[in-house]
A and B are shown apart, each in its own frame.
Chain A
Amino acid sequence: MPTFTEIAKATKKKREIKLVGVDMYIITEKGTPKFDDIGAFKCEFISNRGTKVWPGFVSPDLLQVNWYRCRFMATKDVQDADINAFLDALTKKGWWWSAAQKLWTYDGEPGFSKAY
């Protein structure tokens, strides 16, 4: 008899997974970070409490905390080793980060949400 886990897993469609970027969670008291391109990664947007604070319109009343999600997208095909190099470069530039989340596409569909 297959286990329930085996039955459930058998229903899952196999999808092609591709690394396309990384979300960095950065702690800073100096306001919205600014980034030049780092290796093969370009900053696409920065959000605070889920609200996009760069680029585009930001309400002057927007409450912000010291924790920013910074989305970096790859500008070419990348591997896990490129993420390691990126994290090393970011740390050397003095950024303090709490977490990194790799961004993958699944059969070409993003496996990550956009910011509001």
Chain B
Amino acid sequence: MGTQHVVTMLPGEGTGPEICEAVRLVIDASGVNIKWEYEDIGLDCLEKYGTLLPDKTIQNIAKNKVALKGPTTTPIGTGHKSANVTLRKVFDLYANVRPAKLIPVLKRPWDKIDIINFRENTEDSYAAIEHMVSDEVAQCLKVITWPGSYRIADFAFKWAKANGRKKIYCVHKANIMKMTDGLFLDAFREVAKQHPDIESGDIIVDNCCMQLVRNPAQFDCLVLPNLYGDILTDLCAGLVGGLGFAPGANVGDGCAIFEAVHGSAPKYAGMKKVNPSAVLVSGIMMLRWLKEEAAAARIEKAMFAVLDERKHVTYDVGGTAKTDEYAQAIVDKMHAKA
């Protein structure tokens, strides 16, 4: 066993706990040495703590600096703040890294998609500054700052360079929102000057959506403000097979939280029916973040093999396997290859 990593596990609610148990089974079998510390988050916390994100959970993440999170649901219109957004704000997890890469066994109409989206995660319309400014007008402030924009662009260029990527485009609507998106684009261009070895450019968000659907292979890395990033990352996930296989990482300078981006599917809770792949591929991202490349590659290879065989896959990809049976099949595949 190598270096021990201490990781906060946030199972979430609904199907989250059964998904996270399946993922833990696979990760623990990969040879990596992880001590998991479980903490509460999400709807189930409301009755116990009166909040979706208890202080105890915040303190544990602050200590460990890395967490793997299952799905949670934000109640709509109840006044409770989203646990996800609160986590991003409290730990200043400013970079939402959302790769979209074709999984070979999932038949899609494109030959190649390999995009990394870098979504600014803390500003824009998500600054939680909303007012009813009269009894018939609601207003939401879109907050874009130079330091926040500069920081996500800098993060993206450095990540791209470290991972051998060649091209970064800034996605914006600066032709209309000249102050806010204009500032975001200016900061991107300033950072781009420092990285002449990486091709850079910009594209207006609506055109980017059309281009993504028509010819996604043309894109390599995209840097986006929060709202466009929220939408386009799901669009990209849809291109490669849906949210069920979409990993996500929320990264700050002092902390990283890896999570699936789909919901908690409460109607399936306890049925061990859902596909845990999104949390698993997020776990693979986490292992790479922890410099555990061998374990990450082992899991990825075994997962693709199990998906390719289609004997032990979940209902959403045409199988009948339970969540834990799919996970066990991946473990068996890893051991068979060892």
Shortest Cβ distance from A93 into chain B, in angstroms? Answer: 24
User: Is B151 touching A112 in the complex (CB atoms < 8 A)?
Assistant: no
For the complex of A and B, list the 8 residue pairs with the smallest distance between their C-beta atoms, beginning with the closest.
A50-B127, A111-B132, A116-B89, A113-B130, A51-B89, A61-B254, A50-B128, A62-B92
**Contact status B92-A63, CB under 8 Å:** yes
Distance (whole angstroms) from the CB of B3 to the closest CB of chain A:
23
Query: Which residues of A from 65 to 116 have beta carbons under 8 Å from B?
Result: 65, 67, 69, 101, 103-104, 106, 111-116
Which stretch (B142-150, B268-276, B329-337) binds chain A? B142-150
Pull 16 A–B residue pairs with CB atoms less than 8 Å apart, ordered by A: A9-B136, A12-B136, A49-B145, A50-B128, A51-B122, A52-B89, A57-B58, A57-B90, A59-B90, A59-B255, A61-B254, A61-B255, A104-B132, A106-B132, A114-B128, A116-B90
Shortest distance from the beta carbon of A105 to any chain B beta carbon, whole Å: 9
With contacts A12-B136, A15-B135 taken as known, whether A50 is within 8 angstroms of B90 at the C-beta atoms is no
| A49-B122 in contact (CB<8A) | yes
Give the chain B neighbours of A112 by CB distance below 8 A: 130-132
Q: Interface residue tally of chain B, by bracket?
A: 20 to 34
| B126 within 8 A of partner (CB) | yes
Q: Determine if B326 is an interface residue (Cβ-Cβ < 8 Å).
A: no
Closest B residue to A52 by CB, please name it.
B89
Contact A116 B147, CB 8 Å, known A61-B92, A104-B132: no
B92 touches A101 (CB 8 A): no
Q: B131-165: which have CB < 8 Å to A?
A: 131-133, 135-136, 143, 145-148, 151
Set of chain B residues within 8 Å of A49, measured between Cβ atoms: 122-123, 127, 143, 145, 148
B 144-190 contacts with A by CB, 8 A: 145-148, 151
Provide the bound-state CA to CA distance between A60 and B130, in Å. 26
Mask of B76-100 contacts with A, CB within 8 angstroms, 1/0: 0001010001100111101000000
Count of chain A residues near B, Cβ 8 A: 29
The answer to whether B128 and A116 touch across the interface, beta carbons within 8 angstroms, is yes
Which residue on A lies nearest to B131, using beta carbons?
A: A112
Is A116 touching B86 in the complex (CB atoms < 8 A)?
yes
Q: Which residues of B contact A111 (CB under 8 A)?
A: 131-132
Task: Give the chain A neighbours of B127 by CB distance below 8 A.
Answer: 49-50
**B126, A101: Cβ atoms closer than 8 Å:** no
Min distance, Cβ A6 to any Cβ of chain B, angstroms? 13
Please give 20 more A-B residue pairs, beta carbons under 8 A apart, in addition to A50-B126, A59-B62, A101-B131: A9-B136, A12-B136, A23-B129, A49-B148, A50-B122, A50-B129, A51-B92, A52-B89, A59-B252, A60-B254, A63-B92, A63-B147, A63-B151, A65-B147, A69-B129, A112-B131, A112-B132, A113-B128, A114-B81, A114-B128
Point out the residues of chain A lying under 8 angstroms from B89, CB to CB: 50-52, 116
Query: How long is the Cα–Cα vector from A67 to B147 in the complex, in angstroms?
Result: 12
| Cα–Cα distance between A23 and B81 once the two chains are bound (Å) | 19
Within 8 A of B (CB), among A1-59: 9, 12, 15, 17, 23, 47, 49-52, 57, 59
Query: Inside 8 A of B146's CB, which chain A residues have their CB?
Result: 65
